[in-house]
A and B are shown apart, each in its own frame.
Chain A
Amino acid sequence: MKIILRSIIAIYRKELQGYFSSSLAYVIAGVFWFLSSLFFFFILDNIVREVAQLDLQGQFGVSPPPVDVPSVVLQNFMAVMGSLSLVILPILSMGLYAEERKRGTLELLATSPITNWAVALGKLLAVLTFFVTLIMPLAVIEGLALSRGQPPIPLVTLLSLLMVSHLGLVFMAAAILALGLFISSLTDSSILAAIVTFALILLLWIVDLLGDTLGGGLGEMLNHLSLLKHYTTLTQGVLDLSSFVLFLSYVVLGLFLTAQSIDLFRFQRS
């Protein structure tokens, strides 16, 4: 057990160190932070205008509907974050195994006293840590901005709202990254892995649309598989355990398939 843990940590540390020495990681972080802050600004600006307009209507005697500004802002912003992640996560996961395969280092991992799934888990934890690092500063910005609202919302409410929605984002990211990990383990071309991963998660993102169209038992099943639906539930601050379970199932599936594909690949390789 201790040995397994040690090898997972070895992989984890090596991968994290890799991000610091890779220009790709910095570029992704830069682009992600730039775009998301830009969107945050637009969303805030938008809601300020909207509220001002409602105020104006109020002055003319029409009583405006109440607007829960913090949760509207948060929901809109989390939706943007979700969409951005959709693009960024495949880029993060594309090289995880494809590069090892291309460089021949997979042969080192596969001949070390360490199981396939430990390698996969170490890699997943590392890339997830990198993603959490990406979204942490944004969570702080959101918290700061929303805590300035009038009337002020209680700190506990705000924190739990932020917590649940960001946990949702992290879990969804873990699900996507695990699937990306698997796809990366199938090929030695990073670009190909990124494209296929993107296509797959896009499908899982909107699979509930397909479910709605089909209807019936199958439709309902597809509905449950949708990433977007469960993600949206969580960003609304609803602590829905079934959503976490779904995301975790994707993670387990991804890790399992990765470990299997590494084995299978060795069997067939000439």
Chain B
Amino acid sequence: MIEVEHLSKVYGSTTAIEDVTFQVEPGEILGLLGPNGAGKTTTMRILAGYLPATQGTARVNGFEVHENPMAVRQRIGYLPETPPLYLDMTVEGYLHFVARLKGVSAGDREQRVQTVLQECNLLEKRTSLIHKLSKGFRQRVGIAQAIVHDPPAIILDEPTVGLDPRQIIDVRHLIKKLAGNKTVILSTHILPEVSMTCNRVAIINQGHVVGTGSLTDLMTQLAGVSSYELLLQGDQSRIAQQLLNLSGIQSLHWHDLEDASNPRLSLRVVCDPGTELGPKIAATLVHEGAYIYEIRPTVTNLEDVFLQLTTEEQTSIEGDVISDLEGSSSAAEGADQEENSDGKEPL
């Protein structure tokens, strides 16, 4: 249905995406997950035919977006990050306009508009001017314009951003309703959204796809990895050294405590898959003379997946913070370790 192969986009000297490859099967909802600036919007804009890619191909229903842009545009519904609404039009008038623009024939137009009004729960607002609508309703009008020409593929760029929780639930229901007979790609930087709406995820970071698969796949791949959250007090650099000397420890992630004057240290210890290092860690710490306030094994959830897949950004921030607080040696070590763990990514 949608095939993206080795897609790259370079703006001047900055590379927005590089070698992005993924597929979406018919009827599937793919979540494009990544932090802000990861290249989600760029990827979607290329798919929608708004931007040309520097390299690579993207096919929708067998049509390549650069070779056959008009055919692709007819088969795709696209909701940009800000819904493209004409505020001085009524909801119905706007949808009629978009239907005409997308080439819906005059005979089908009225029926299509009524259908999407119903599908998107907009019937009560059909004659309202768009600028009088709340954000949630505007978002629904945005989705309505994306599906008014009944395209087989829909691209939604951050469809729930800026909505209140109730509206978010509404929009998610709407998207789930669409799935089945339509292929949907939606981008988000909110993890729960993916688990609630998507069949599959492509995780994208700094322009690269760092993992694709069903959520359960990604979870099981990572399930073996165990980690511990620690809260303790002691000499940070020595603790780091001792812990890293233990066999089976992959990396340490130091957390920044809100209260800078607090002498306690908070960190996450990532261990090799299948190891039970809790007692060993505790023994090492006690031996080192550190006070342990808390030691807690953490469950691998999607947030963890996400953290693991896209830790590069976080490393540099945490590294900076620590080197400001403490001696730079431990920070450098921590950072090194983290980079290593990135290299050993299971995906």
Q: Which residues of A are in contact with B by a Cβ distance under 8 Å? A: 3, 6-7, 9-11, 13-14, 17-18, 21-22, 103-114, 266-270
Binding site for A on B (CB under 8 A): 11, 14, 16, 48-52, 70-71, 73-74, 76, 78, 80-89, 93, 97-98, 100-103, 145
Complex contacts, A18 vs chain B, CB 8 Å: 86, 88-89
A-side contacts of B11, CB under 8 Å = 268, 270
Nearest to A14 among chain B residues (CB) is B97
The one of B51, B70, B76, B97 in contact with A266, judged by C-beta atoms closer than 8 angstroms, is: B51
A109 to B49, CA, bound (A): 11
Instruction: Let me know if B82 and A104 touch, CB within 8 A.
Output: yes
Partner of A7 from the list B14, B52, B71, B100 (CB cut-off 8 Å) is B100
Question: Provided the pairs A7-B101, A17-B93, A104-B80 are in contact, do residues A111 and B88 lie with their beta carbons within 8 angstroms?
Answer: no
Contacts of B78 in A (CB 8 A): 107-108, 111
Contact A112/B102 with A14-B97, A107-B80, A270-B16 known, Cβ cut-off 8 Å:
yes
- How many contacts A-B (CB < 8 Å)? 78
Determine if A6 and B145 form an interchain contact, defined as CB atoms under 8 angstroms apart.
no
Report the Cα distance A108→B70, complex, angstroms: 13
Q: A111-B48, A111-B78 are in contact. Are A103 and B101 (CB under 8 A)?
A: no
Kindly state the separation between the CA atoms of A11 and B101 in the bound complex, as whole angstroms: 8
With A17-B89, A18-B88, A111-B50: A6-B103 Cβ-Cβ less than 8 Å:
yes
| Further pairs besides A18-B86, A108-B84, A268-B11: 8, Cβ < 8 Å | A6-B100, A10-B101, A21-B88, A22-B88, A104-B81, A106-B84, A114-B101, A270-B14
Interface centre among B51, B101, B145 (most CB of A within 10 A): B101
Q: Residue among B52, B82, B84 with the most chain A CB within 10 A?
A: B84
Partner of B103, one of A3, A106, A107, A110: A3
List, in ascending order, chain B residues with CB within 8 A of A112's CB: 73, 98, 101-102
Q: Which 7 A-B pairs give the minimum distances between C-beta atoms? A: A108-B84, A10-B100, A105-B84, A104-B82, A113-B73, A111-B48, A107-B80
Q: In the complex the two chains form, is A14's CB within 8 Å of B86's CB?
A: yes
Can you spell out 16 A-B residue pairs with CB atoms less than 8 angstroms apart? Answer: A6-B100, A7-B101, A7-B103, A10-B100, A17-B93, A21-B88, A103-B84, A108-B98, A111-B49, A111-B50, A113-B71, A113-B73, A114-B101, A267-B51, A267-B52, A268-B11
- Bound form: Cα–Cα A10–B82 in Å: 22
Q: Is the interface of A mostly helix, strand, loop or mixed?
A: helix
A111 in complex: contacting residue of B16, B76, B100, CB < 8 Å: B76
Q: Quick one: closest B residue to A115, CB to CB?
A: B70
Closest A residue to B145 using CB positions: A108
Q: Which residues of B contact A13 (CB under 8 A)?
A: 97, 100
Given A11-B101, A266-B50, A266-B51, are A111 and B86 also a contact pair (CB < 8 Å)?
A: no
Q: How far is the CB of A124 from chain B (nearest CB, A)?
A: 17
Residues of B within 8 A of A268 (CB): 11
Q: Please, which residues of chain A bring their CB within 8 A of the CB of B98?
A: 108, 112
Alpha-carbon separation in the docked complex, A10 to B89 (Å): 14
In contact, A269 and B86 (Cβ under 8 angstroms)? no
Q: Verify B103–A113 contact, CB threshold 8 A.
A: yes
Question: Given the complex of chains A and B, what is the CA–CA distance between A152 and B81 in angstroms?
Answer: 65
| Residues of chain A lying within 8 A (CB to CB) of residue B145 | 108
Residues of B within 8 A of A107 (CB): 50, 78, 80, 84
Chain B residues within 8 Å of A6, by CB: 100, 103
Q: How far is the CB of B205 from chain A (nearest CB, A)?
A: 18
CB distance from A225 to the nearest CB of B (A): 35
Look across to chain A and name the residue whose beta carbon is closest to the beta carbon of B72: A113
The residue of chain A having its C-beta at the shortest distance from the C-beta of B81 within the complex is A104
A17-B93, A266-B50 in contact; A113/B84 too (CB < 8 A)? Answer: no
B101: min CB distance to chain A, Å: 5
> Chain B's nearest CB lies how many Å from the CB of A82?
31
